[in-house]
Amino acid sequence: MTGNPYLDVKPEVAEALAAGKPVVALESTIISHGMPYPQNVETALNVENIIRECGAVPATIAIIGGRLKAGLTAEEIAYFGKKGRAIAKASRRDIAAICARGEDGATTVTTTMMIAHMAGISFFATGGIGGVHRGAETTMDISADLEELANTPVTVVCAGAKAILDLKLTLEYLETHGVPVIGYGTEELPAFYSRHSGLKVDYRMDTPAEIAAAFRAQRQMGLKGGMLVTNPIPEQYAMDDAVINGAIDQAVRESVEQGVKGKEITPFLLARVAELTGGDSLDSNIQLVYNNARLASAIAKAYAETR
C-alpha cells in the first residue's frame, strides 16, 4: 500500500484507508509498559471496541519481529500484554536497529505517529504525551514526542502531557516549535489525572468538526507538523490535585535517589504513582484513554465526512 518494505498494514485498516473511512491509531507502549497484565490487554481491546462503536477503525501500532505494524490482531495484542516490559520501548532512535535485528518494539507517541503517518493515518488517541521533564534545565531530558509533533502531520488526542512532567516548559517547547495546542471544550491545559493546570492552551475548540477543519486547513496549507488536542479527563474520574501532586512529588524524589534515568523514568514514575495512590491513578488513566479514543474517533469521522 505504501511501498515501505518494513510496513505491514492490517487488511481492515488498509481497506478503511482506501475507502476514505475514519481510522484512529493507538500506541503499544501503554500495553507493554503502562499497565500490568491482564489489565493491559483488556484495556487495549476495550479501546479498540470503543473506536469501532464510534464508527471508526482502530489501528494499534507496534513493531513485531522487525515489522512495522499498523493494526494488530487480538492475538498480537495479547502477546504484547504478556511479554510486558520484556519488549523494548521504541522511540525514533531505536526503530531502525529494532527492525534490522528482527526484534519487537513497543511504540511510544513518537513512533506511533511515525508509523501512522507511513500508513496514511492522520489521527491518534493516547493517554498523555511525553514532554519536558522536571529538572530538564540541568538534565536536558526532553521527550522526542515534542519534536515529532513539530514534524509529523498527525493529530494527537491526549489528556495533556503526563502530570509527572514540567507542564509549563512543555507548553513553551511546543510554542517554540509551532505546534498548535487545542483544548477541547476548555481554555486550560488539562494535567492528565486532573482537569486543571492553571496554564492556557492556544485555542479552545468545542466540536470535533471544528478540530477537523483546523487540521484540514493545516494540511492544505502545507504546514509542517501535527496538532495536539488536549481533552480533560471526565470529571468523575479526575483525581484530587493535592493527592496526585503529592504522589508525583514523592515518586520524582525516589527516582532521583535511585538514579532512574532515560526511557525508564516514565514507566517508573507512573508505576510508583499508581502504588502511592492505591491504584486510583491507574483507574483514572484507563478512563482518560477511553475518553480520548471517543474524541479522536469523532474528529476522524468529521474529517472523513468533509473530504
Specify the pLDDT at position 138.
67
Say how far apart CA 172 and CA 165 lie, in whole Å: 13
Helix (H) or strand (E) holding 119: helix 109-119
Under 8 Å between Cβ of 95 and 111: yes
Domain 127-307: CATH superfamily, name plus number? Indigoidine synthase domain (3.40.1790.10)
Give catalytic status of residue 27 as yes or no: yes
For residue 184 the three cell numbers come to 477541547
Specify the pLDDT at position 36.
86
Asked whether this chain's domains 1-121 and 127-307 adopt the same fold, the reply is yes
Specify the pLDDT at position 266.
73
State the CATH class of domain 1-121: alpha beta
Cα 197 off chain centre by: 19
Residue 109's nearest CA partner among 144, 67, 74 is 144
Residue 252 one-letter amino acid: V
Say how far apart CA 31 and CA 43 lie, in whole Å: 8
Say how far apart CA 248 and CA 241 lie, in whole Å: 10
Q: Is 7 helix (H, G, I), strand (E, B) or coil?
A: strand
- Sign (positive or negative) of CA dihedral 254, 258, 259, 260: negative
Specify the pLDDT at position 1.
43
Residue 108's nearest CA partner among 170, 46, 33, 177 is 33
Say how far apart CA 253 and CA 269 lie, in whole Å: 10
Which one-letter DSSP state was computed for residue 234?
P
Specify the pLDDT at position 236.
93
Cα 157 off chain centre by: 7
Judging by DSSP bridges, how do beta strands 181-184 and 203-205 pair with one another? parallel
For cell 498494514, the residue is: 9
For residue 114 the three cell numbers come to 511515525
- Sign (positive or negative) of CA dihedral 98, 99, 102, 103: positive
Which one-letter DSSP state was computed for residue 73?
-
For residue 127 the three cell numbers come to 493517554
Q: Is 81 helix (H, G, I), strand (E, B) or coil?
A: helix
Domain parsing of the chain, residue ranges: 1-121, 127-307
Specify the pLDDT at position 83.
96
Residue 221 one-letter amino acid: M
Active-site pick, 27, 69, 148, 301 = 27
Active-site pick, 10, 69, 89, 162 = 162
- The parts of the chain modelled with pLDDT lower than 50 are 1
